[in-house]
C-alpha cells in the first residue's frame, strides 16, 4: 500500500509543479529534501517564490511515522489510540500576485495505523478548494464541474456528499464566513477495496490542476490597482486564521513534531489585518462576502 501511494504522490507533485512553472514562465520551484531524526519520516518540499504570476506556491510531499496517533486524529476516532502509524500525502497552497486570481489549496493523503495482534486500519483523505478575492461565476462553475467530474465514476452521490463536507469544513466559525467557494473534502475513506479508494484519491488529485490552471491563465493578466491589492492582503488574513485555528492537517503536523517550515508553507508571504473593516455597499468586495462566500449549487447556477 505505502509504496503504491508514494509512487503516485511523487509523480503528482512533479506534474503539478511542472504545470505551475509553465504558467508562471519566470520562476521555478526549489527542491528541499528533508529527513526527521530516528527514521521518523522524510519529505520533499518544493517552493516557488516571487514569480511573475505566483507570489508563493508550495507543493509538499511528506511521509511520517509515529508510535501513537496524535489527539487531532483520535478525537473523532478513539479506536486509533495506541496504534503506531504511517501518514503520507501531498499538500499544496498557491498564492498568486494578481487579486483576480484565486488562492487554491489541495491535499491527498493516506494513513496506515497498526497494532500488534490486530488488523491494520487504513484510510484515504483529501480534496481541493478555491479562495477567490474577486468572484466570477464562470470560474466557480468551472471549478465545481471539474470536482463533479472527478467524482462521477464513483457514484452520483459522491460529489454532493463531499461538496457539502467541504462547505462545512472550510467554515471560519469566529467570522461566520466560508473560507472560499469550496470544492471537495473527504476523509476516513476505506469503504470497499484499497484499489477502489486509491483510484478515487487519484481522481481527485489529478483533477486539481485541471480545474485551477485554466482559471489562472484566464485571470493572470487582469489589470488591478492598490485597492484590489490591499483587499487581497486583508482577505488573506482569513486564510491564516483558518489554517492556524481549525485546519486538521496543520494541527496533525504540529502535534506529530512535523517539519514546521513545510507545515506552515501554506501561509501567504504578505498579509494584512484591519480593525473593523467593512467593504463599501454594492462594491465587488461586498459581493464576495454577500454572494460568493455562500454555499450554493454552482454547477446549476443561473
pLDDT tens-digit profile of 283-299?
A: 999 999 999 999 999 99
Region 10-15: mean pLDDT is 98
Query: Which comes out higher in pLDDT, residue 233 or 259?
Result: 233
- Give the model's confidence band at 75: pLDDT under 50 very low, under 70 low, under 90 confident, else very high: low
More confident call, 94 vs 80: 94
206 Cβ neighbours under 8 A, 6+ residues apart: 12, 150
Q: What does each C-alpha distance from 302 to 81, 138, 141, 297, 299 come to in angstroms? A: 48, 11, 10, 10, 9
Q: Which residue is catalytic, options 95, 105, 144, 235? A: 105
- Residue 15: HSE in the Cβ half-sphere, 13 Å Cα cutoff: 14
Residue 71 confidence class, pLDDT cut points 50, 70, 90: low
> Is 105 an annotated catalytic residue?
yes
Better pLDDT: 220 or 247: 220
- Per-residue pLDDT at 130 exceeds 80: yes
Work out the pLDDT band at 254, boundaries 50, 70, 90: confident
Residue 293, pLDDT score: 97
- The grid coordinates of residue 172 equal 471560519
Report how far residue 206's alpha carbon sits from residue 126's, in angstroms, rounded to the nearest whole number.
12
For residue 127, list its beta bridge partners: 107, 185
Residue with more model confidence, 145 or 77: 145
Q: 206-244: per-residue pLDDT in tens?
A: 999 999 999 999 999 999 999 999 999 999 999 999 999
pLDDT-based confidence at 82, cuts 50/70/90? Answer: confident
Give the separation between CA 10 and CA 61, rounded to whole angstroms.
7
- 228, 267 in Cβ contact below 8 A? no
* d(C-alpha 43, C-alpha 175), whole Å: 34
Check residue 262 and give its pLDDT. Answer: 84
Identify the residue with better confidence: 159 or 258: 159
Domains and CATH numbers, the chain: 1-292 (3.40.1500.10)
Question: What is the rounded average pLDDT for all residues in the chain?
Answer: 93
pLDDT at 45: 95
Q: What percent of the chain has pLDDT over 70?
A: 97
Q: What is the largest CA-CA distance in the chain?
A: 63
Judge whether residue 108 has pLDDT over 70.
yes
- Structure-derived torsion over alpha carbons of residues 103, 53, 125, 258, reported in degrees to the nearest 10: -100
The yes-or-no verdict on residue 73 having pLDDT over 70 is: no
Amino acid at each position: 500500500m505505502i509504496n503504491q501511494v508514494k509512487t503516485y504522490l511523487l509523480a503528482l507533485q512533479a506534474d503539478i509543479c511542472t504545470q505551475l512553472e509553465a504558467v508562471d514562465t519566470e520562476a521555478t520551484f526549489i527542491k528541499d529534501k528533508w529527513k526527521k531524526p530516528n527514521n521518523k519520516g522524510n519529505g520533499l518540499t518544493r517552493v516557488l517564490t516571487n514569480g511573475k504570476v505566483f507570489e508563493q506556491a508550495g507543493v509538499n510531499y511528506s511521509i511520517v511515522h509515529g508510535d501513537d496517533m496524535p489527539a487531532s486524529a483520535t478525537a473523532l476516532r478513539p479506536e486509533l489510540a495506541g496504534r503506531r502509524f504511517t501518514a503520507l500525502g501531498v499538500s499544496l497552497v498557491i498564492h498568486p500576485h494578481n487579486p483576480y486570481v484565486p488562492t487554491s489549496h489541495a491535499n491527498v493523503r493516506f494513513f496506515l495505523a497498526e497494532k500488534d495482534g490486530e488488523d491494520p486500519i487504513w484510510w484515504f483523505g483529501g480534496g481541493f478548494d478555491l479562495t477567490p478575492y474577486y468572484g466570477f461565476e464562470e470560474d466557480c462553475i468551472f471549478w465545481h464541474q471539474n470536482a463533479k467530474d472527478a467524482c462521477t465514476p464513483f457514484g452520483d452521490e459522491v460529489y454532493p456528499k463531499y461538496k457539502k463536507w467541504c462547505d462545512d469544513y472550510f467554515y471560519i466559525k469566529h467570522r461566520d464566513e466560508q473560507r472560499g467557494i469550496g470544492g471537495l473534502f473527504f476523509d476516513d475513506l476505506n469503504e470497499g477495496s484499497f484499489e477502489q479508494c486509491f483510484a478515487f484519491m487519484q481522481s481527485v488529485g489529478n483533477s486539481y490542476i485541471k480545474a485551477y490552471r485554466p482559471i489562472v491563465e484566464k485571470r493572470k493578466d487582469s489589470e488591478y490597482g492598490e485597492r484590489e491589492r490591499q483587499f487581497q492582503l486583508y482577505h488573506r488574513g482569513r486564510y491564516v486564521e483558518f489554517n492556524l485555528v481549525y485546519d486538521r492537517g496543520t494541527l496533525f503536523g504540529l502535534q506529530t513534531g512535523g517539519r514546521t517550515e513545510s507545515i506552515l508553507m501554506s501561509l501567504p508571504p504578505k498579509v494584512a489585518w484591519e480593525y473593523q473593516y467593512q467593504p463599501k455597499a454594492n462594491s465587488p468586495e461586498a459581493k464576495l462576502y454577500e454572494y460568493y462566500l455562500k454555499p450554493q449549487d454552482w454547477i446549476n447556477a443561473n
